[in-house]
């Protein structure tokens, strides 16, 4: 029988307490890197013609691939923190760069392509059908501008929701790349889907259980995320360990 969400979170919290400041500094380090990537993306043209749109999408893909490498590093850090197999260090963030980066890149590419397909209606609509509006029109609540924007963001939200539910199948894949380094990218994705069979609602429940804390974090202008993110990631490691142990013993 799988552990309850309450047990998973309490076990994660217990393990995290002895490494809290290391995890907080690790999170800050990671956020600085990812925010720098986002800052660079802001200077890429995203509209105007097909070529600028494709250039923008290519930049997003490159950033996603780089983020995937870091995501494997995050999995390595929190798996080490939770299981105490090895001492968790800042160098864990770059784990994938020296442990089969091609596998991580292939996994991330597959997930990025799934996301692209899910959000393709939004991309096509915003590029070919939505007119450009001035800031004055947007801030004056122009009816036509709001109508187009609302429809565009409805398409985007639906696409991201579809991707989110599909991605639940592959939630443990980065942990698996660390935990089972001999797996190929295709095998890791396949085993991840097998591992999550019957547990997607449990994982969704775990994710939703952090919403109150994330709301509180908004009141601190996001500073609280320096503690909430380590807690969530340690809980994800706890969920993976519990899932892999119980599922393989069935």
pLDDT in tens, 44-78: 555 556 677 777 778 888 888 999 999 999 999 99
Token pair for 57: 């999408």
Task: Give the model's pLDDT for residue 7.
Answer: 95
pLDDT classification of 204: cutoffs 50, 70, 90: very high
| Contact call for residues 55 and 135 (beta carbons, < 8 A) | no
Q: What is the mean pLDDT of the chain?
A: 88
pLDDT classification of 39: cutoffs 50, 70, 90: confident
For the chain, give every domain's residue range: 5-244
Cα-flanking dihedrals φ and ψ of residue 152, to 5°?
Answer: -60, -45
């Amino acid at each position: 029988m799988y552990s309850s969400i309450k047990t998973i979170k309490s076990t994660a919290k217990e393990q995290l307490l002895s490494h809290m400041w290391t995890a907080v500094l690790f999170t800050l380090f990671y956020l600085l890197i990812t925010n720098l990537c986002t800052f660079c993306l802001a200077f890429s043209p995203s509209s105007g013609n097909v070529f600028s749109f494709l250039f923008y999408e290519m930049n997003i893909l490159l950033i996603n691939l780089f983020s995937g490498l870091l995501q494997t590093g995050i999995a390595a850090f929190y798996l080490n923190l939770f299981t105490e197999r090895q001492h968790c260090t800042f160098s864990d963030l770059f784990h994938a760069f020296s442990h089969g980066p091609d596998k991580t890149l292939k996994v991330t590419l597959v997930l990025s392509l799934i996301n692209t397909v899910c959000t393709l209606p939004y991309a096509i609509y915003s590029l070919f059908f939505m007119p450009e509006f001035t800031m004055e029109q947007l801030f004056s609540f122009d009816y036509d501008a709001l109508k187009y924007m609302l429809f565009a963001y409805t398409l985007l939200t639906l696409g991201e929701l579809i991707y989110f539910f599909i991605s639940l199948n592959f939630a443990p894949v980065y942990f698996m790349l660390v935990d089972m380094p001999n797996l190929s990218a295709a095998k890791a994705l396949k085993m991840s889907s097998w591992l999550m069979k019957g547990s997607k609602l449990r994982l969704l429940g775990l994710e939703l259980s952090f919403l109150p804390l994330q709301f509180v974090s908004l009141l601190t202008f996001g500073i609280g995320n320096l503690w909430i993110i380590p807690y969530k990631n340690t809980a994800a490691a706890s969920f993976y360990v519990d899932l892999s142990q119980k599922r393989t013993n069935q």
